[in-house]
Structure 1
Amino acid sequence: MTEKVKEVAGKGKGLAGEFREFIMRGNVLDMAVGVIIGGAFQKIISSLVDDIIMPVISLLTGGIDFNNMFVSLDGSEYATLEAAKEAGAATLNYGTFITVVINFILMALVIFFIVKFMNKLSNKLEKEKAEAPATTKICPRCKSEINIEATRCPHCTSELD
């Protein structure tokens, strides 16, 4: 290899080396995994909101279809938003905005409850770990970790209390 190629391929040298160093950082990989999982999770939440929660809200509001709430800016009356779009009319689609806001609030609420559940589960697991009896202790002389029942340190051979 020429000196130029060696310099570019070397870790921390040249653009390629800097990029390799950047991409191999743990936090970049964690972020990439988070984005991928977040995309898949977003589809699950969207399905929950669109297929389960919104039909219930539609029942509670008497079957109101927010998507067909609009104002035609050309002054004409249209039965549906689709009919107005087919006619080429400019529309102010406030119903679609209301639907998106409701979806956002519901998604945020679902995510809140999932995070709350995960935090509760995590706290429970931490409590269980904290309550587990100690199985090791530290030697006061050499500071090595040893069995809690040991009477003599296997590292420095000092007698223990």
Structure 2
Amino acid sequence: MLKEFKDFIMKGNVLELAVAVIIAGAFGAIVTSFTNDVLMPPIGQALGGVDFTDLKIALAADEVAADGTVTEGAAIRYGMFIQKVVDFLIIAFILFMIVRTYNKATAKQEVEAAPAPDPGPSEKDILLQIRDLLKK
């Protein structure tokens, strides 16, 4: 069982998947930063100084304790949802571009690697064969 596990772990697909997950996590952080710090502030400013992280529908009031600490009440934070949707769209578009480029590159290699099909006899050759058979 240990040998099977070792063989499983050492397969290329598992290692590639592990690398992909790590890179995806780092890429997700970059996209989140891009969305929160670069993309959404100008959009919020264009919409009249809106900070999307503050957009919410309060379901319960915030509670203030005697020592001054504030506990947020329940709320629907649709501003955060908008930011997550933008994050998703950016990541999905970039992945689409990567897959599209990969597919184009592999399609060209397959076309180049495939040998040309045998054209077979031409129409003229077939007609000559028929004529020769008719003569016999």
Normalised by the length of structure 2, the TM-score is 0.61
Alignment correspondent of 2:22: 36
**Percentage identity across aligned positions?**
32
**CA distance in 2 between partners of 1:132 and 1:25 (Å):** 29
Q: Does 1:49 align with 2:26?
A: no
Q: Higher mean Cα deviation, 25-34 or 122-131?
A: 122-131
Normalised by the length of structure 1, the TM-score is 0.54
**CA distance in 2 between partners of 1:134 and 1:22 (Å):** 33
**CA distance in 1 between partners of 2:106 and 2:89 (Å):** 26
Residues 95-114 of structure 1: pairs in structure 2 closer than 5 A: 97-114=77-94
**CA distance in 2 between partners of 1:19 and 1:130 (Å):** 34
Alignment correspondent of 1:72: 61
Query: What's the CA shift for 1:47?
Result: 1.8
**CA distance in 2 between partners of 1:104 and 1:60 (Å):** 19
Higher helix share: 2
Alignment correspondent of 1:90: 71
- Post-superposition CA distance 1:52-87 (Å, at most 9, x none): 11112211221123444555344x7xxxxxxx9x82
Q: Does 1:117 align with 2:97?
A: yes
Flag structure 1 segments of 5+ consecutive residues without an equivalent. Answer: 1-11, 77-83, 138-161
Flag structure 2 segments of 5+ consecutive residues without an equivalent. Answer: 118-136
**CA distance in 1 between partners of 2:113 and 2:9 (Å):** 41
Alignment correspondent of 2:109: 129
**CA distance in 2 between partners of 1:93 and 1:63 (Å):** 24
Q: Does 1:59 align with 2:59?
A: no
Query: What's the CA shift for 1:136?
Result: 8.4
Alignment correspondent of 2:123: none
Query: What's the CA shift for 1:22?
Result: 3.3
In the alignment, residue 36 of structure 1 is paired with which amino acid? I
* Structure showing greater relative contact order (alpha-carbon pairs closer than 8 Å, 6 or more residues apart): 2
Query: What's the CA shift for 1:128?
Result: 3.2
- Note the aligned Cα RMSD (angstroms): 3.2
